[in-house]
Structure 1
Amino acid sequence: MTRKWRNVALLTLCEVLAMTLWFSGSAIIPGLRAEMVLSDAQAAAMASAVSFGFVAGTLVSAVLTLADRVHPQRLFMISALAAAGANLATFAIDPAGPWMPVLRFVVGACMAGIYPVGMIMMSSWTAKDRGLLVGILVAALTLGSGAPHLIDIFGGLDWRFTIAASSALAAAGGLLVLLFEHGRPFNRAARFKPAQMLQAWTDPSLRYASFGYFGHMVELYAVWAWIALFLASSLSLRPDGDGTGELAKLLAFTMIGSGAAGSILGGLLADRIGRTRLTMACMTVSGFCCLVAGFVYGMPVWVLVLLCVVWGISIIADSAQFSASVIELAPPDYAGTMVTTQTCIGFTLTVGTIHAVPWFVDLFGWEGAFVPLAAGPFLGVLAMAKLRALPQSRLLAHGRR
């Protein structure tokens, strides 16, 4: 294995380990409900607080230019250890009380020192394979995000085991990242320039690339946060309800985890067929899955597996390509500002959609809960089609658009 791919593999492993914290709160909801009263509003707050914390953490990191002040490996390590500590602090509070969303917010804020910083580190090895390497990093995020559901199965659906294991894994990732070597010398990240955030709206190409990402985000984290409960409710309709909890967790991991392969495949394809074509195809498929999920509700397990795999791959395979598009379209001196703007607004949208799903369940049942989310990817397809029609789109993927 070459030096490049050793370091890519190491960083990928560290991202997987650290990102297990993101959905550790969502994964333990069924276990908490078995022991205590936990309303849908409290469950939604646990899930959305991570996204809200990530937005706040990203903004603070950008404004304070932490990537300029702290070496990436150290920032990654400090963030992973702090997030692991906040996750472990769950044992010191009432998980159904008001402090739980606060701790989840802290975990999300610390993620701002892991995922975006990992992107900076990975970019030191990119040449003409930016789509692939960024896709690998998103695959790590995806696999790590789904891991708590698998951990929960191994722990017998004991929420305490899931919290302890995910914290230990994240701490290990934070320490291992110190072994990472940069492909190119460490360059300071572009300084965050709030005044230039307006460029994201006045430049048509950047605006459409961002709108495509926003449509993608409307669906992504809401589905990831609630898919395990959707599956558990669907499986409970079987005549034989034994093992419903474990099977739902396994299917949820299958869905999110299959997205890891989708992210890598998406990166490979985007470098070859173009970013707009890849993102439009993925959002079309994932939006269609939002519409058909209700028809699959209550059907045999093999049908649910098929939905999970197709939806899991399509919902995330395009994610990295929106950031790659903005990097390629924006002037180099404020690409960092554009990516920060795109990411912060995108994750802010997830707070609303995560809270909206329980309301949709009350209105339409699980059969129709995901249908309204389809508006996001379908509008995203329209935005990327408009981007593809612009002459600036030839800047994408070395002219492949």
Structure 2
Amino acid sequence: MKLQKNSILVIIVLCQFLGTSLWFAGNGVMAHLIDSFSLNLAAVGHLTSAVQFGFISGTLVFALLTLADRYSPSKVFFVSACLGAAFNLGVIHSQNTFFTLFFFRFATGFFLAGIYPVGMKIAADYFKEGLGKSLGFLVGALVVGTALPHLLNSLMTDLPWRAVIIVTSVLSVTGGLFIYILVPDGPHRTPGKKPDFSAWFRVFKDRDFRSAAFGYFGHMWELYAFWAFVPLMIAGYFDTQGLAAGNISILSFIIIGLGGVSCAVGGILSGKLGTKRTAFVALFSSCCCCLLYPLFFSQTSGALFIAFLIFWGLVVIADSPLFSTLVAHNAPGEIKGTALTIVNCIGFSITIVSIQTVTWLLPLVNPAYLYMILALGPIAGLYALRFRETFSVSG
């Protein structure tokens, strides 16, 4: 059965959404994990970092072995979705300790390396033109998938918290099956012949590639730390103001999940305004949110504070597919999948540093000023984009 390209895109987007629901499955039930396994508050940062560290390790292995270029990306996606789901299920074991939970989240992150960047590789193999728009929808699916466990945790209050973990694992396997059955190798795929260990150095020789990659690295310093600590931002604000926070899981889902809409909108706008320009505006806007956080944290209006976090959630992710587009367009065709994986590997390494930095500062810094440190990444990313003014990719 041969599907039209638009149908292929819908399937890839859906499967990316289903597979990446594994990412924050632990965060969605973090309060239950802390209670059930007698963990301390620092576990929020450590278990989130475990997924990131696993993802980094996975991308390192995938990139060194050039798996997404040597083998069918759809098969790599399917196997990774199934193995990621299996390790995700390990969290529900009643005899878990912090160390076993860390391992299971690490292993889940390892196989997410075969879902997220490989999904982008599949899209790049189908959509040489209009890649920015396609990746906008694809990363939007990642965002909603990332936020989904918060929604499930809120909706499944009458069920044991382990049901959230089981559901996300089932969704991941389903996504892998759909990709394997319905999405063959794309027409623009250039298969790699053997492991290319020089790819790590070769891709960064191109100045345009370096500029796009460094902009992405600055964006990543902020992104996952913001996502990881959104529930604490909400709880901290309402505790400080002496107000009732309401349903933090629902609010977290809205703040993170609406970013999926901004990814799609950003991808569409990039076709008119240019990919680099659109990414610059989004990164600048999220940088402003980091710096203005103390102002909104001091407001007595809970609605205004939540509206501010929603806006931050929209702009903090809008540039992600645009940077991936710039990276893909400026990478050699035969190692495009590896180049995307390399950039993801370095970017997610940066997220561990930012998450652990915020975790370390939690008891030391006034919560009104804590998250201003996230502005360091966007500032560096803006400099990288501004420094390289000549390149631009439309669509």
TM-score scaled by length of structure 2: 0.91
CA shift for structure 1 position 43 = 2.5
- Separation (CA, whole Å) in 1 of partners of 2:196 and 2:346: 16
The alignment status of 1:195 with 2:198, answered yes or no, reads yes
Q: CA deviation at 1:230?
A: 1.5
264-273 vs 196-205, greater mean Cα deviation: 196-205
**Which SS does the other structure have where 1:236 is aligned?**
helix
Inter-partner Cα distance in structure 2 for 1:95 and 1:145: 23
Structure 2 unaligned spans of 5+: none
CA distance in 1, matches of 2:262, 2:136: 9
Q: Give the corresponding residue for 2:345.
A: 344
Distance 1:179 1:278, change over 3 A: same
Higher relative contact order (CA 8 A, sep 6+): 2
Match runs of 1:227-376 below 5 Å: 227-237=230-240, 239=242, 241=244, 244=245, 247-297=247-297, 299-376=300-377
* Contact in 1 for aligned 2:68/2:337 (Cα 8 Å): no
- Counterpart contact for 1:286–1:315, Cα < 8 Å: yes
Q: Counterpart of 1:378?
A: 379
- Give the corresponding residue for 2:105: 104
Among candidates 166, 172, 175, match of residue 174 of structure 2? 172
Match of 2:229 in 1: 226
Once the two structures are superposed, residues 334-370 of structure 1 have per-residue CA deviations (whole angstroms, 9 ceiling, x without a partner) of 4444333322111101111111112222221321221
Indicate the larger mover: 279-288 or 301-310.
Answer: 301-310
- Contact residue 279 and residue 381 of structure 1 kept, 8 A: no
Name the SS for the 1:330 alignment partner: coil
Would the aligned equivalents of 1:254 and 1:309 in 2 still touch at CA under 8 Å? Answer: yes
Q: Flag the 1:239–1:334 CA change in 2: closer, same or farther, 3 A.
A: closer
In the TM superposition, what whole-angstrom CA distance separates every residue of 1:269-309 from its partner, at most 9, and x where no partner exists?
A: 12221122111111111111112223333643321331122
Matches of 1:21 and 1:92 in 2, distance apart? 16
Cα distance in structure 2, aligned partners of 1:33 and 1:311: 27
CA contact (8 A) 1:41 1:355 kept: no
The whole-number CA distance in structure 2 between the counterparts of 1:323 and 1:251 is 28
Write the letter of the residue equivalent to 1:74. K
Alpha carbons 1:121, 1:182 under 8 Å: kept: no
Q: In the aligned structure 2, how far is the partner of 1:167 from the partner of 1:57?
A: 18
How far residue 313 of structure 1 moved from its aligned partner, in angstroms, is 1.2
Report if aligned partners of 1:212, 1:384 keep a CA contact under 8 Å in 2: yes
Structure 2 residue aligned with 1:22: 23
**Structure 2 residue matching 1:187: 3-state secondary structure:** coil
After TM superposition, give the deviation of residue 99 of structure 1 in Å.
Answer: 0.9
Q: Which moved more, 1:28-37 or 1:278-287?
A: 28-37
Q: How far is the alpha carbon of 1:210 from its aligned partner?
A: 1.5
What displacement does 1:32 show? Answer: 2.4
**Displacement of 1:189:** 4.4
The residue type equivalent to 1:177 in the other structure is: I
Does the residue aligned with 1:124 lie in a helix, a strand or coil? Answer: helix
Distance 1:268 1:279, change over 3 A: same
Q: CA offset at residue 36 of structure 1?
A: 4.5
In the other structure, the counterpart of 1:67 is 68
Distance 2:138 2:313 in 1: 16
In structure 2, the residue matched to 1:397 is 394
* Separation in 2, partners of 1:139, 1:226: 20
Aligned equivalents of 1:180, 1:339: Cα separation in 2: 23
In the TM superposition, residue 68 of structure 1 has moved relative to its aligned partner by 4.3
RMSD: 2.3
Deviation at 1:265, TM superposition (A): 0.9
TM-score w.r.t. the length of structure 1 is 0.90
1:319–1:176 CA distance, 2 compared to 1 (3 A): same
78-87 vs 192-201, which deviates more? Answer: 192-201
Contact preservation (8 Å) 1:193, 1:337: no
Paired with 2:338 and 2:8, the residues of 1 have a C-alpha distance of: 27
Structure 2: how far apart are the matches of 1:356 and 1:376?
13
The separation in 2 between residues aligned to 1:334 and 1:176, in whole angstroms, is 25
307 and 97 in structure 1: CA distance in 2 versus 1, 3 angstrom threshold: same
Amino acid at match of 2:4: R
Give the 3-state SS of the residue equivalent to 2:98 in structure 1. coil
Once the 2 structures are TM-superposed, how far is the Cα of residue 383 of structure 1 from its aligned partner? 0.8
Q: Tell me the matched-pair count.
A: 390
Structure 1 pair 189/108, CA: closer, same or farther in 2 (3 Å)? farther
The 8 Å contact of residues 282 and 315 in structure 2, kept in 1 or not, is answered as yes
1:82 maps to 2:79: no
1:134 paired to 2:135: yes
The alpha carbon displacement at 1:130 in A equals: 0.7
**Of residues 206, 209, 212 in structure 2, which corresponds to 1:206?**
209
How many Å separate the matches in 2 of 1:257 and 1:282? 17
The 1-side partners of 2:119 and 2:199 are apart by 24
The amino acid across from 1:375 in the alignment is L
| Alpha-carbon distance change, 72 to 87 in structure 1, aligned in 2, over 3 angstroms | same
Describe the shift of the 1:323–1:49 C-alpha distance in structure 2 as closer, same or farther (beyond 3 A). same
- The amino acid of 2:167's aligned partner reads A
Secondary structure at 2:329 match in 1 = helix
